[in-house]
Amino acid sequence: MKRRELLKSLGALGIGLPFANTSLGLPLLDYPAIKSSDFGDDFIWGVATASYQIEGAVSKDGREPSIWDTFSEKKGKIKTGETGAVACDFYNRYPKDIELVKKMNFDVFRFSLAWSRILPNGTGKINQKGIDFYHRIIDSCLENNVQPWITLYHWDLPQALEDKGGWKNRDIIDWFGEYSDLCTRKFGDKVKNWMILNEPVAFTVLGYLLGIHAPGKRGFRNLYPTIHHTAMCQSEGGRIVRQNVKDANVGTTFSCSSVHAYRDKKKDSITSAKLDALLNRLYIEPCLGMGYPTDGWKLLENVSKYIKDGDMEKLSFDFDFIGLQNYTRVMAKHSPFIPFLWGSQVHPKKRNVEMTEMEWEVYPKGIYEMIKKFKSYDGVDKIIITENGCAYKDEVSNGVIDDQKRIKFYREYLEQVLKAKQEGANIAGYFCWSLLDNFEWAEGYRPRFGLVHVNYENQTRTIKNSGYWFSEFLSK
C-alpha cells in the first residue's frame, strides 16, 4: 500500500520533463525588441528531435524492436493507444525536413541514433543499412549548411538488451561502450558535436521506478542499479567520443526544473531538497567528481550497493559543454501520507497559474534559475540549452497555424536566457524542442511541440507562425 502511494505521488510530479514537443506578414504579439544578434555572433541556434519520436520504419531495413516498440504495443501504456511505428515518417522524408531546418534559419539539427537500427541485437552484428541511413542524414545536413549534432542515446534501448536486464545489468557499460565506439568510428569524420545521453533522470525514474515509460519497470530495486550504470555510461561514452573523434565537442544533456518550497516552512524545504537532488543533481554531480547527492535525499545512499572498486574515479568526465533542458518548475509540499519522499508537487491547476497543454506551468524565470544553478558548479564551463519548448493545441485555418502562445513562450524564455548570458553565464547555444510535431512518448500524438505542424494522416508539413517567427528572429 505504501509503495503504491509513493509511486502514485512521484508519478503525479510531472517533474518538468518532455515525457509522462520568411514571415507570412501576420500580426504577432507586441514584444520589446530582442534579436538573435543580442546573443553574440558565435551563438548557435538549433532544433532538436529524437529517433523513435520521428523516424517510423520500425521494422524496415534490418531494424529490430526497441523498448519503446514493445512498451507502446501494450494496452494502456500510451494514453492514445498509438505507437511510433510510422511517427513522422522521417525515415523516408528526411531531406525535406532538413530543408525546413534551413528555411527557418537554424544552424543546427540535433537528432539521435536508434541503437537497434545500427546494432539490431544491441551488440555484435552491424546493420549496414542503418549506418547508411544516418550517413544520408548527415550528408543532407551538410548539403544544407546545417550542423549535424548527434545524441547517442535518446531512450530507445534495443529490446534484446532489455531482455538481458537493460540498464539494471552492469554489462550495459560494455554494451554502451561497444555502441558508442562503433558510432563514433562510423560518423566521427563528419560529425564533431556529440551528446551522450538525453535526460538520464527521465528514462531512469520514469522507466525503472514509476513504470510509466519504457520498459515499464516499477520500484526502487530497479532504480538504484540503473542510476549507477547510467552514470557510468555517461562518462564512458564521453571518453570514447573524445578518443575516437578528432576535435570533438562532447557534452551530455540534463533535464532540470527549478524546485521551490510551496510555503515558507521547514518541512516543505526538506521536500524541495529531496526533489532537487533527484531531478537536478543526480547525474551532474557524479560526472563532476562529487558523488551522488545523498545530502539532499539520504535514500540515494542505496545506490552505493552497486558501486565497485574504481567506479567513483570512472564516474568523472570533463565534458566540453553541459546541455540543459528546461520546461517548467516544481512546487514542493510536505505530506505525511507519502512514504520515503514525504511530499509531493502542488499541481499548477491548484495554483491557478498559466499552463501548457502538458499541464506544465509556464515559468520563464525557471530557465534563468537553472542556468545560474548549473553555472555555480566548478567544472561546468559552457552551457547549451539543448531543449526548450511547449505544447499547445494548434488550429489549422486556411493552411495557417497562428500559434501565438508558443511564440510568447519562446520569447519570454529567451529573454531569461539572454539575461543569464549578460550576467556572465557562458551560454553557447539554444535548441528548440521540437522541429516537428511527433510521438510524445506515453502521451501519444496529442501534444504538439513542433515548430512544424504534421498532418499524421497524409504526412504533410506546415510551418507554424512560431517557425516563421524564428526565421525572422534569426535573420536579425
Q: Give catalytic residue positions.
A: 199, 387
Cell numbers for 184, please give them: 563514433
Secondary element (H or E) of residue 455: strand 452-455
Q: What is the DSSP letter of 167?
A: G
48, 110 in Cβ contact below 8 A?
Answer: yes
What counts of helices (H) and strands (E) characterise the chain? 18, 13
Three cell numbers at 125?
552484428
The dihedral of CA 24, 30, 36, 37: what is its sign?
Answer: positive
- Report the candidate in 372, 252, 373 with the shortest Cα–Cα distance to residue 322: 252
Residue 73's CB: how many other CB atoms inside 10 A?
A: 13
Compute how many other C-beta atoms are within 10 angstroms of the C-beta atom of residue 213: 25
Q: Please state whether beta strands 343-345 and 329-334 pair in parallel, antiparallel, or not at all (unpaired).
A: antiparallel
The neighbour count for residue 115, using CB atoms within 10 Å, is: 29
Helix (H, G, I), strand (E, B) or coil at 178: helix
- 463 contacts 450 by C-beta, under 8 angstroms: no
Longest dimension (CA), the chain: 64
Backbone phi and psi for residue 237, each to the nearest 5 degrees, phi listed first: -60, -40
User: Is residue 232 within 8 Å of 171, Cβ to Cβ?
Assistant: no
What number of residues does the chain have? 476
Q: Which cell is 393 given?
A: 493545441
> Whole-angstrom distance between the N-terminal and C-terminal Cα of the chain?
58
